[in-house]
Amino acid sequence: MLGKTLVKIFSVTVFLLGTSLAANAADGVIKLGVHGAHTGDLAGYGIPSLNAAQLVVNDLNARGGIGGKQVVIVAQDDQCRPDLSTNAASKLISEDVKIVMGPTCSGATKAVMPMYTSKKVIVVSPSATAPDLTQDKKFPYFFRTTPSDDAQARTGVDFSLDVLGAKKVAILHDKGDYGKGYAEFVRQFLKEDGRATEVFFDGITPGQVDYSTVVKKIQRSGADTLVFGGYYPEASKIVSQMKKLGMTTHFVSEDGVKTESFITLADKDSEGVYASSSRDYSDLAMTQKAFADHQKQYNAAPGQFFVQAYAATQALLAAVEKAGGVDDADAIAKILREEYVETSLGKIRFDAIGDMEGSGFSMYRVEGGKFVDKKFEKK
């Protein structure tokens, strides 16, 4: 299923690149860079964002664009790899792109923000959650429509303690900026709380076929709850190997796992897995329209971070319109921080360091092959 999706998406990406290159030679267009994982193992995150941007641009162009100018997408793929991310950023900068929606992953974002900042490129990510991207205050032109890892780790810890009643917690991560950062915050918050004991903490190498050795160590640790920081390809293998060993240990993770691709890979072994993600916005009329448009355009339901990417694109282009174009980065940044805009995440703006105001997490559980927000009550 994932392979078919990537074939379909690759053709979309090539089309977008061809469109943007043709528009490069034309006057009177506004270029929107879409920087993210459009191929590779983590395309399940980047493609929904690319699709979201295209749908927003379609609607905007149908209404006359921005100041009479059409918006064209310049898509660059980084596979969530820092080395490819710097290449992608260099290409966008060389094409004089001044506004970017993305990148997808924290490590890839950290690799390029010094480049984008030096060129005053406005960046709005739907999914890069590393706290220091905003909290270090080094990147005044960076914004995001998803909460940071520390907030998500707090959600995971509170849920594990208050709802699952965890007493012995194992913590596992994938050694990456995103997964390890999340895991270290989990470790910190567990220690500060004091109600549960950490019985295991370690990292795995992404891309391996077999994680049975580390899974057996977790089993021997006596953990009643495993908290995992990382992405769905590794998570799917870990939960399947846990089920083979007959483990009843709760599996709690984050939005790197809360994706349909995880359920596809883990199949029936995904049942009962918990993963945090942004709250459900499907009750909003604008979000419902976005979902319907995606179904019509791509004949599929949108994936993880689609709503966040849709809102990121809406907010970014609305700020460009109010600023009168893409040339004044400081004006665009000021508008993003000070003025509310209606989006698929509701009415939003960003705080002084670039985080979206009022964002938060829910905890979801896989039931019947779907992630369901159960709105659990504390014990």
Question: CATH number, domain at 50?
Answer: 3.40.50.2300
**Neighbour tally for 137: CB within 10 Å:** 10
Which of 66, 53, 67, 65 shows the shortest CA–CA distance to 13?
Answer: 53
Residue 369 counted as domain residue: no
Do 281 and 297 contact (CB within 8 A), yes or no? no
- Are residue 81 and residue 48 in the same domain, yes or no? yes
Residue 365, phi-psi category: left (phi > 0), alpha (psi -120 to 50), beta (remainder): beta
- Are residue 21 and residue 135 in the same domain, yes or no? yes
- Are residue 132 and residue 158 in the same domain, yes or no? no
- Are residue 185 and residue 38 in the same domain, yes or no? no
- Are residue 197 and residue 225 in the same domain, yes or no? yes
Which of 116, 22, 27, 40 shows the shortest CA–CA distance to 77?
Answer: 40
d(CA 317, CA 92): 17
Domain total in the chain? 2
d(CA 232, CA 43): 11
d(CA 191, CA 58): 49
Residue 372 counted as domain residue: no
Half-sphere exposure of 275 (CA within 13 A, CB side): 27
Residue 259 counted as domain residue: no
- Are residue 115 and residue 86 in the same domain, yes or no? yes
Supply the range of the domain harboring residue 59. 2-146+282-360
Residue-wise pLDDT tens for the chain (379 aa)? Answer: 333 333 333 334 433 443 443 333 345 899 999 999 999 999 999 999 999 999 999 999 999 999 999 999 999 999 999 999 999 999 999 999 999 999 999 999 999 999 999 999 999 999 999 999 999 999 999 999 998 889 899 999 999 999 999 999 999 999 998 999 999 999 999 999 999 999 999 999 999 999 999 999 999 999 999 999 999 999 999 999 999 999 999 999 999 999 999 999 999 999 999 999 888 888 999 999 999 999 999 999 898 899 999 999 999 999 999 999 999 999 999 999 999 999 999 999 999 999 999 777 889 999 999 999 876 544 3
- Are residue 325 and residue 229 in the same domain, yes or no? no
- Are residue 29 and residue 158 in the same domain, yes or no? no
